[in-house]
Structure 1
């Protein structure tokens, strides 16, 4: 097929979230065309969020009121778009279990990763631990996204 328009080159790519997503979390595609925190052993992982964001459906307006009723305007609302790093990118992510340098990783739920174990479904591999000293449980470390 000739004259195909390239969509992205290297990323990241931005998506609209279905929920609050913080940077450094594994995200997956959802049926409504949005993203959410990746579930355990997800087959729909898109990558790792590198920015914070919230659903535009739950975003609060820019005006609230102080204790005596004066309007307080929020100059920095939470974004309603999240940037996601993917395929071949090396970023920091939250680990739910300890992982060794070079180990394959899978989604363990709530946007975290952990070791894949001896015989994982290859479709669930999301990357490799690239933190030279490995990563402790409930710590943040490097991943090379698959």
Structure 2
């Protein structure tokens, strides 16, 4: 058998958000149709990793000016249409949906956040481990996570 080319060695990998998806850095993303990504749903088994930047779908870009006071006004800051996603043992800040202790296994919560897995998690839903030395105090807090 001839050699097989290596596609990605350590990541991150870049993806395009699905139509009507706004990706926020520090949130989990999951695979969607057509090779695109979206914000991970609670208990998702399709989590690819953690977005390390913000992005929106190319279809959602507003590139036509709005007329204000008879003058065309266009937002000069166009959001990115691709985002890097880290995975496979990388440690990064992720938004938590609930308090977590140092070492807790984590699963996807709603809106791309993570939450402790509990006593008997479905192994397919584990997305990482809390590596914040003091744990994470509660919802809406970003804390260190080693992404699976």
Which interval holds the TM-score relative to the shorter structure? over 0.9
Task: Give me the whole-angstrom Cα distance separating, in 1, the residues matched to 2:9 and 2:72.
Answer: 44
- Number of equivalences: 145
TM-score by length of 2: 0.93
1:4 correspondence with 2:12: no
Residue 65 of structure 2: aligned partner: 64
Residue 13 of structure 2: aligned partner: 13
Task: Give me the whole-angstrom Cα distance separating, in 2, the residues matched to 1:112 and 1:57.
Answer: 25
Residue 133 of structure 2: aligned partner: 132
- Gaps of at least 5 residues in structure 1 are none
Residue 50 of structure 1: aligned partner: 52
- Gaps of at least 5 residues in structure 2 are none
Q: Write the mapping of 1:102-113 to structure 2, written as runs, cut at 5 A.
A: 102-113=103-114
CA deviation after TM superposition for structure 1 residue 74, in Å: 3.1
Higher helix share: 2
RMSD over aligned CA atoms reads 1.2
CA deviation after TM superposition for structure 1 residue 136, in Å: 1.6
CA deviation after TM superposition for structure 1 residue 109, in Å: 1.6
Moved beyond 4 Å, runs of 4+? none
Q: Secondary structure at the match of 2:124?
A: helix
CA deviation after TM superposition for structure 1 residue 86, in Å: 0.7
CA deviation after TM superposition for structure 1 residue 56, in Å: 1.0
Task: Give me the whole-angstrom Cα distance separating, in 1, the residues matched to 2:45 and 2:98.
Answer: 20
Residue 98 of structure 2: aligned partner: 97
More displaced stretch, 103-112 vs 64-73: 64-73
CA deviation after TM superposition for structure 1 residue 3, in Å: 2.0
Residue 38 of structure 1: aligned partner: 40
Q: Write the mapping of 1:72-91 to structure 2, written as runs, cut at 5 A.
A: 72-91=73-92
